[in-house]
Every structure is written in C-alpha cells, then in structure tokens.
Amino acid sequence: MISKFNIGDTKTFLRVVRPQDVAEFEAGQVHPFYATFALGRDAEWAGRLFVLEMLEEDEEGIGTSLTIDHRSPALEGQEVQITSTITALEGNQLDCSFEAKVGSRVIATGTTGQRILKKSVVQRIKEKAGSE
C-alpha cells in the first residue's frame, strides 16, 4: 500500500444525476430524485479515488462501511458535488466523511470505510462466499 495521504485530505467527484440514478424498484419509479442507494454508490466512489492512488499492483480495495444522512433531493440533470475527506487512516483501513451538494445546498452527509487487501485475500474471500 502506498502511503501518500493524510487526515484532512479531500477528493471531489461530480455526478450529473442520470435516469438510472433515481429511486426505482421492481414495482416502478418511487420518485424522480437521486436515490439514496445511488448516492451511496457515488459516495463510496469519491472515497475510492484515494484508494486508487494507494494501491500496489497486487492489491485491491473493498468497502467496509457506509452511512448516509440524505437531507434534500437532487433532480435528474442536476450536478451533485461529493467531497470526501479522510478522517482516519490506520494500517490498511481508510475512513472518510463526505458531503454532497447541489450548488450551495447540502443534500447529504455521511461516512465511508474501505480496506486495502492483497488480491489473493480478496480471491479467498470470494471463493469462501461462493461455497456457502
């Protein structure tokens, strides 16, 4: 693992809300707003931007935690800015807080956790999960 970041460092990801990002389930569309599950995916990606620069060739990152306080909607076509900030970096564990905004309006806050593991360990986890 490459150690190149510090607590307080930030990364930003921009998402223009797409049709596939709105709340929709098997029964149909719930509402035309950025779904909490899509927001969670994008918040994890914002934190993964750190991981991508930390990985050695034989390593991969996996998610370990996600919390979201979804406060306000974003409509399809609106641009959401997700800023991820490192809050803890201990061993191979990276924890971040995030804030998602549309313009100056905060639509969500939360936390993400990711762990960097050897690809061989990830493969063993996959094989074990597949055998259960």
Q: pLDDT digits over 67-90, tens only?
A: 999 999 999 999 999 999 999 999
Domain regions of the chain by residue span: 10-130
Which of 104, 96, 15 has the alpha carbon at shortest distance from 50? 96
Give backbone dihedrals phi and psi of 5, rounded to 5 degrees, phi first. -120, 165
C-alpha to C-alpha distance for 68 and 108, rounded to whole angstroms: 7
pTM for this structure?
0.91
Query: What's residue 35's pLDDT?
Result: 95
The amino acid present at 124, given as its one-letter code, is R
Q: Which of the following CATH numbers is that of domain 10-130: 3.10.129.10, 3.40.640.10, 1.10.1050.10, 3.50.50.60?
A: 3.10.129.10
Strands 10-16 and 59-70: unpaired
Which of 96, 109, 98, 35 has the alpha carbon at shortest distance from 64? 96
